[in-house]
Amino acid sequence: MNVFPTRPRFIRLPLLAGCGLVLLAGTSTCFGADWSGNATVTSDYVWRGTTQSSGDPALQAGLKVAADSGFYASVWGSNVSFGPEVGADTEFDFTVGWSGSLGQDWALDANVLHYRYPGSEVDLDWTELNGTITYRDNYWLAVGYSPEALGSDDSGVYTLVGARFPISERFRLEAAVGHYALNAVYDESYWHGQLSAIWSPRQAVELRVTAHATDANAKSIFGDSYAGSRVEAAATVSF
């Protein structure tokens, strides 16, 4: 999660928790449940348009178990960097939720996501309620609400609209625009956008390049070092 390095604590420094939902492919069945996982190396951990690793590379991994009923639980982790005054160098995301079909074309994922930062010198942990509705696997609307947004004592609402554009069986483009309403926390909100080119040279392997950009409000909230424009390259292996 993004931390605003100069904000005094009382209102927990915003830290970003990344990647929210763990999207995993390639499953195996064990004890009546499907287990899946992935591992990623990325040039920059970017979450909701802002860097969580101070622009440095990150190693990430996730594990998910899902029942036939649609209920699931997952854990995901990454290294982070928010400055020496914060002290956190690791993020863990714990998710419990349900996902399933709402008919021929629609699907829903609803979950509770908890962000935890062990070893942090300030209280950065927080929880968010999330829902994502998907149409034909190619268009989605996601909404997240937290009464303690970014580890503060105030609420925030995040909204993301995205689309996937398959070019071939192994190559696609994805685009998304997000808005984070943080008026209760910072008296400001911000917009961000991203465009990704994604190639799967073989099953369970994905290479991605993503261009990110935020508006000026994000720079005002988090600082130029965390917000703005940046390009991220990542490789993911699923199992």
pLDDT of 67 over the 80 cut? yes
Structure tokens, 43 = 């040039």
DSSP 21-60: S-----EEEETTEEEEEEEEEESS-EETTEESSTT--EEE
- Decide: 35 and 63 in contact? Cβ < 8 Å: yes
CA dist., res. 57 & res. 152, Å (int): 27
Flag whether pLDDT at 128 surpasses 70. yes
Q: Higher-confidence residue: 28 or 73?
A: 73
Of the ranges 23-37, 58-72, 179-193, which one carries the lowest mean pLDDT score? 23-37
pTM summary value: 0.86
Predicted local confidence at residue 81, as pLDDT: 94
Span 145-158, average pLDDT: 97
Condensed to tens digits (0 to 9), the pLDDT of residues 3-57 reads 433 322 222 233 333 333 333 334 444 456 899 999 999 999 999 999 999 999 9
SS3 169: coil
Fold adopted by 27-238: Porin (2.40.160)
